Amino acid sequence: MKKHSVVIVDDHLLFAQSLQGLVNAFDEFEVLYHVKNGSELIKKLLESENVPDIILLDINMPVMNGFETMEWIKENRPSIQVLALSMDDHEETIIKMLRLGAKGYLLKDIHPEIFYKALNEVISNGIYYSERVATTLLNSLHGNDEKEVANGKPLKDTELTFLKLACTEMTYKEIAQEMCLSPKTIDGYRESLFKHFKVKSRIGLVLYAIRNNLVNSK
Amino acid sequence: MKKHSVVIVDDHLLFAQSLQGLVNAFDEFEVLYHVKNGSELIKKLLESENVPDIILLDINMPVMNGFETMEWIKENRPSIQVLALSMDDHEETIIKMLRLGAKGYLLKDIHPEIFYKALNEVISNGIYYSERVATTLLNSLHGNDEKEVANGKPLKDTELTFLKLACTEMTYKEIAQEMCLSPKTIDGYRESLFKHFKVKSRIGLVLYAIRNNLVNSK
DNA sequence: GAATGAATGGGGATTTTTCCCCTTTTCAAA
DNA sequence: TTTGAAAAGGGGAAAAATCCCCATTCATTC
């Protein structure tokens, strides 16, 4: 029986190496290779005709993160089953990744047996949702429509730009100059995002953005 | 030859399991057991007379984190060599952990061979500093005295309490009420921390606190 | 006892943030 | 071509944050 091939994309070498050992311990799976980020993955995929069955994709990586990488895979190698792999259990991150086409979302603190189950499920069913991820998805649907819009709708480019700058020590006046807009327009963005995220102050906005990975916190 | 015994403390089961496989693959080491947090570790240490040689200690854990656990080990099982294990490469975290008595600080993205080297070093030399950690330590010493004081001196309890509350949507007035102090005293803390951390605004303070794990960002 | 320094707190001014109500411009759908 | 919604921008005021200078208390040290 031919083993299902797995590729690991994770910048934490220790984790990647350990994970590779774990996967190889399963009879049905074997690791083709592992790479440190999306760029390296794409290079490997382009230069090799050996297409993996499954990609285990970390989200938080330097150089090219999981979201960008997922987009590329969806566009160029749609047949590969991608399982997102992250420590981040925030709703927005999970939803974003699944919308981009990931077939499952594994939290790094799951039990190895569940991990094994996930690999099998994604091969046989083309999808794997853990209970926790399914619950998260349900919760996001059960909220009122307002919240659904709030958490599901992607931010416009200008809003995201503003949000990133709001997560710095710049004043709104400086942000306005930076974005070549009137301070009043910036004030409009601010008010809009306050309502959108249900926060009461710029501090709340920054905390929300960081907690939900809308900006790089580090 | 008796193998050196290793205990893993990490809430990421997948990582812990994988790491266990890696350690067991080394001839000189074997994993005694792994636990999910500090509380479980202490329970195991107390009920078993089999004292491990090395503890691999994650820092970010629910229930009982790495700092608290380290303090307990230093107090009650000082003979055990503890290697801190974290994704967090921020200066304050590293220094805090080493001051608490960790014999080394491993970043989770290190190469498995370096990991192997670290295990051996901590057995033979009682200490292992990676180049990156050593550099971080050096940088923290090479800064001017002001910075050394700023980054090395632990915060007073009141300041830390204020800092945590400042990382919420509360106004200073509300924080003052919460801490049963005059708003003016709070203003003093604020100004002091601004200078201490070289930030210009409350936003800057929040970002600094989160980036340096002075508060829980999530 | 005097000096030093930290913790606490006040006065007061300026800047920034926050909020609400409004107008103009733009741009695409009807 | 109209119309309607979204984006951009404005006025103005209240609240919060920021800053600087200073007073009191209290313990420690010289």
Return all residues near A189 (Cβ < 8 A) that are at least 6 apart. A158, A159, A162
Average pLDDT over residues B50-64: 88
Dihedral sign (CA B40, B43, B47, B48)? positive
Question: Looking at this predicted complex, what is its ipTM?
Answer: 0.54
* Closest Cβ opposite residue A210 in set B90, B202, B210: B210
How would DSSP label each residue in A32-67? EEEESSHHHHHHHHHH-S---SEEEEESS-SSS-HH
Reported as a pLDDT band with limits 50, 70 and 90, residue B101 is confident
Query: Tens of pLDDT along B169-205?
Result: 999 998 998 888 889 999 998 988 888 888 899 999 9
pLDDT at B130 over 70: no
List every span in chain B annotated with CATH 1.10.10.10.
155-211
- Amino acid B149: pLDDT: 32
Which residue is closest, via its CA, to the C1' of D15? B171
Average pLDDT over residues A185-195: 90
Shortest CA gap A192–chain B (Å): 17
Which of B109, B111, B114 best probes binding to A when mutated, by most A CB atoms within 10 angstroms?
A: B109
- Amino acid A139: pLDDT: 55
Burial of B28-57, coded b for 16+ CB within 10 Å and e otherwise, reads ebebbbbbbbbbbbbebbeeeeeebbbbbb
Query: Tens of pLDDT along A90-139?
Result: 767 777 787 788 888 888 777 777 788 788 878 877 777 766 666 665 55
pLDDT at B147 over 50: no
Per the CB < 8 Å rule, is A87 touching B12?
Answer: yes
CA→C1' distance for A138 and D3 (Å): 40
- Amino acid A95: pLDDT: 75
Shortest CA gap A59–chain B (Å): 14
Average pLDDT over residues A5-23: 88
Q: What percent of chain A has pLDDT over 90?
A: 21
Higher pLDDT, B64 or A129: B64
B199 contacts in chain A (CB < 8 Å): 169
Q: Look up residue A5 and give its DSSP letter.
A: E
Instruction: Find where tokens 């007379």 sit.
Output: B49
List every span in chain B annotated with CATH 3.40.50.2300.
4-140
- Amino acid A143: pLDDT: 36
* Closest Cβ opposite residue A18 in set B19, B169, B218: B19
B198 contacts in chain A (CB < 8 Å): none
For chain C, which bases have at least one atom within 7 A of a protein Cβ? 7-12, 15-20
- Amino acid A186: pLDDT: 92
Per the CB < 8 Å rule, is B12 touching A201?
Answer: no
Q: Of A90-94, A160-164, B31-35, B209-213, which has the strongest mean pLDDT?
A: B31-35
Burial class (CB in 10 A: 0-12, 13-18, 19+), A135: exposed
pLDDT at A147 over 50: no
Write down the CATH number for the domain with range A4-140: 3.40.50.2300
pLDDT at B216 over 90: no
Return all residues near B173 (Cβ < 8 A) that are at least 6 apart. B183
Q: What percent of chain B has pLDDT over 90?
A: 22
A169 contacts in chain B (CB < 8 Å): 199-201, 203-204, 207
Higher pLDDT, A159 or B30: B30
pLDDT at B132 over 70: no
Reported as a pLDDT band with limits 50, 70 and 90, residue A148 is very low
Residue A32 phi/psi, 5-degree rounding, is -75, -50
Query: Quick check: helix, strand or coil at residue B182?
Result: coil
Write down the CATH number for the domain with range B155-211: 1.10.10.10
The per-residue pLDDT of chain A, averaged, comes to 81
Residue A179, nucleotide of least CA–C1' distance: D8
- Amino acid B110: pLDDT: 72
* Closest Cβ opposite residue B167 in set A19, A200, A207: A207
Per the CB < 8 Å rule, is A21 touching B17?
Answer: no
Residue A181, nucleotide of least CA–C1' distance: D8
